[in-house]
Amino acid sequence: MKLPSFIQIYNELIAIPTISSVTNDKIDCPNKELIDKLANWFAELGFKISLVSVPNTRNKYNLLATYSNDSNHTKGGLLLSGHTDTVPFDEGLWSKNPFKVTEVDNKWYGLGTADMKGFFAFILDALRDIDLKTLNKPLHILATADEEITMAGAAYFAQNTQLQPDCTIIGEPTSLIPIRAHKGFTANVIRVIGKSGHSSDPEKGINAIEVMHLVIGKLLELKQTLKEQYHNNSFAVPYPTMNLGMIKGGDAANRICGCCELLLDIRVLPEIDANSLYDLVCNTLKPIMDRYPNRIQVENEVDPIGGYECQKEEPALKEVEKLLNQTAETVNYSTEAPFLNQIAPTIVLGPGSIEQAHQPDEFVSMDYLKPTKIAIESLIKRFCL
C-alpha cells in the first residue's frame, strides 16, 4: 500500500469523529478507527505497531509505532507524540464542515486540523523523504486517547512504558515555538447542603447561598495567599491563579436555598504539586466546615494535572532551540507533557496557533505546511541519525 497524498491523509484523519466528552457519553467517540488507520500507514513504512486498550476510558486505544535498526529499541532516539481526540463542537457556530478539510484564504479548516490530529499527517509526510534504514537510533510515534478530558492515554503510557528516548516532542499547536513549561491545574466542585424552608422564617433553615458566601470569602483569601507566596518569572502570569467559574443554587425568591454549587479552577506553577490542592482547599474551608458539619463537600471534577518544566539547561531543549533558531517559552494551558516528561525531556512544539484550538471554524494556516515538515525532518535527523 502506497501512502496517500499529504492532503488526503489530513482529510481522512479529520473525517473520523474522535470527540471526547466526560459529561455526555452520547457524543463521546471511540478512537479505534483512527488508531487503525494510523497503524496501517506506519506499518506500511516499516514501523512495528503496538495497540493498547486504555483503562478507565470508553474503549479507547493508544498506538505506539516504532522504527529501529537496533535490537535495543527502548533507549535513545526520538518520540513524536500527539493525541487522537478533539473537543466537542457547536454545530450552529461552525460555517464549515468540521469533519472535512476545507481550504479557504490559505487556511485549512476542520475539527482537529490544529488541535491536533493534523500533526500525524505532518509526521507521515516528512517520513516520505527520510531513508529510515539509515537511522541509528529509534524513532517512536505515540498516539494517545482522551487528552481533552482525563489525559488517561498519556498517563497510562508513562506508567507502563520501558522507553527512554533522548527527547519527546508533543505536536500541540504552538506556532512552531518550542514550549518548555506550563502550569498545572485542578478543578473542584464545592457543594453546600443547606436546609430549605419558607423565606418568612429564615431561622428555621440554613441558606446554602449564605454559607457559600462565607466559602467564597475564604477561597479569595487563599487566592491572595497563593499569589503572594509563589512566583516564577518564566510565566507571563508569574503566580498561581484561581477562577470561580460557575455558581448555581436556589429555585425561588421565597424559599430558603437548600443547595449551592461552585466550580473552582486553580492553575499552579510547576513547582507546586497539583495533587496537594484538594487538601489545601479543604484546610482553607475547615473553619466553615466545623461551623456547618457535614454540609460542605469538596470534590475533584477531574483528576488534577500537574505542571511541567523542562529545564533551560537540558541538552535536548538546547538542541531543539538551535535547530529552530527559537528560544523556548512557557504557556498557561495544559498538555500531556507532565506525563511524558517523566520518561524523557519533553518539549511541546507543533504547527498552528493555540488561539484556534477549541474554537468554531478551527484552522491551521497553510503557512505552516513547509516549515513544519522541515522541522520534523530536522528533529528526526538530529536525534535518530
CB 87 within 8 A of CB 360: no
Neighbours of 325 (CB within 10 A): 6
Residue type, 326: Q
Distance CA 327, CA 5 (A): 33
Given 28, 125, 146, 147, the catalytic residue: 147
Distance CA 99, CA 275 (A): 37
Selection from 72, 97, 131, 129 nearest residue 14 by Cα: 97
Residue type, 2: K
> Is 85 a catalytic site residue?
yes
Cell of 2: 502506497
Q: Angle of helix 315-324 relative to helix 369-384, nearest 10 degrees? A: 140
Given 28, 85, 336, 362, the catalytic residue: 85
> Is 367 a catalytic site residue?
no
- Contacts of residue 96, defined as CB under 8 A and 6 or more positions apart, other chains included, come to 102, 104, 109, 110, 361
Which residues carry out catalysis?
A: 85, 147
